[in-house]
Structure 1
Amino acid sequence: MRGSDFADARAFVSVAEQGSFARAAGTLAVSPSALSQTIRGFEERLGVRLFNRTTRSTHLTDAGARLLLRMQPLLAEFDAALEEASGNRKPSGTLRVCAPQMAIIHLLQPMLGIFQEQYPDVVLDLTSDESLGDIVARGFDAGIRLGEHVDQDMVAVRVGPDLRQIAIASPDYLQKHGVPQSPQDLHEHRCINWRRTGQTSVYNWEFARDGQWFDLSVKGTLIVNDCAVALQAALDGLGITVWTEDWMKPQLESGRLVPLLRDWSPPFPGFFLYHPSRTRMPSALRAFIDVVKSVSMGADAAGPVLPSELLPSVQREPALAGSKVGA
Structure 2
Amino acid sequence: MRGSEFSDMRAFVAIVEEGNFSRAAARLRISPSTLSQTIRQFEERIGAQLLIRTTRSMSVTHAGQRLFDRFRPALREMEAALGEVRNLQGAVSGTVRMVLPRLALASLVEPHLGDFARAYPEIHLELGINDAVIDIVGDGFDVGITLGELLEQDMVAVKMGPDLRQLAVAAPEYLARYGTPETPAELLAHNCINWRKPGSDKIYNWEFFDAGRWFGVAVQGSLMVSHRDTALQAAAQGAGIAFAYWSSQWMQPLIDAGRLVPLLEKYSPQFPGWYLYYARQHQTPAAVRAVIDFFRAANRPSDGS
Q: Identify whether the pair has TM-score above 0.5, normalized to the shorter chain.
A: yes
Q: 1:186 to 1:90 in 2, by over 3 A?
A: same
Distance (whole Å) between structure 1 residues aligned to residue 72 and residue 121 of structure 2: 34
Q: 1:120 to 1:176 in 2, by over 3 A?
A: same
In 2, are the aligned partners of 1:163 and 1:268 still within 8 Å (CA)?
yes
Q: 2:235 aligned with 1:234, yes or no?
A: yes
Distance (whole Å) between structure 2 residues aligned to residue 229 and residue 35 of structure 1: 36
1:264 counterpart residue number: 267
**1:1-327 alignment runs, 5 A limit:** 31-33=68-70, 89-247=90-248, 248-297=251-300, 300-302=303-305
In 2, are the aligned partners of 1:294 and 1:301 still within 8 Å (CA)?
no
Distance (whole Å) between structure 2 residues aligned to residue 181 and residue 113 of structure 1: 44
Matched letter for residue 240 of structure 1: I
Alpha-carbon deviation of 1:34? 6.8
In 1, are the aligned partners of 2:86 and 2:93 still within 8 Å (CA)?
no
Q: 1:230 to 1:35 in 2, by over 3 A?
A: closer
Matched letter for residue 199 of structure 1: S
Q: Any idea what the Cα deviations from partners look like across 1:178-222, whole Å, max 9, x if unmatched?
A: 111000110111100001111112100000013211011001111
The alignment's TM-score, normalised by the length of structure 1, stands at 0.65
Alpha-carbon deviation of 1:271? 0.7
Q: 1:229 to 1:34 in 2, by over 3 A?
A: closer
Distance (whole Å) between structure 1 residues aligned to residue 247 and residue 86 of structure 2: 44
2:42 counterpart residue number: none
Give ranges in structure 1 of 5+ residues lacking alignment.
Answer: 1-29, 39-78, 303-327
Matched letter for residue 164 of structure 1: R
Give ranges in structure 2 of 5+ residues lacking alignment.
Answer: 1-66, 75-79
Number of positions where the alignment pairs a residue of Structure 1 with one of Structure 2: 230
Distance (whole Å) between structure 2 residues aligned to residue 274 and residue 245 of structure 1: 22
Q: Any idea what the Cα deviations from partners look like across 1:38-78, whole Å, max 9, x if unmatched?
A: 9xxxxxxxxxxxxxxxxxxxxxxxxxxxxxxxxxxxxxxxx
Distance (whole Å) between structure 1 residues aligned to residue 95 and residue 71 of structure 2: 24
In 2, are the aligned partners of 1:158 and 1:301 still within 8 Å (CA)?
no
Alpha-carbon deviation of 1:33? 4.9
Helix, strand or coil for the counterpart of 1:275?
strand
Distance (whole Å) between structure 1 residues aligned to residue 72 and residue 272 of structure 2: 38
Q: Any idea what the Cα deviations from partners look like across 1:149-194, whole Å, max 9, x if unmatched?
A: 1211111111121000010000000000111100011011110000
Matched letter for residue 208 of structure 1: F
The alignment's TM-score, normalised by the length of structure 2, stands at 0.70
Helix, strand or coil for the counterpart of 2:91?
coil
In 2, are the aligned partners of 1:293 and 1:301 still within 8 Å (CA)?
no
How much is the aligned-residue C-alpha RMSD, in angstroms? 2.5
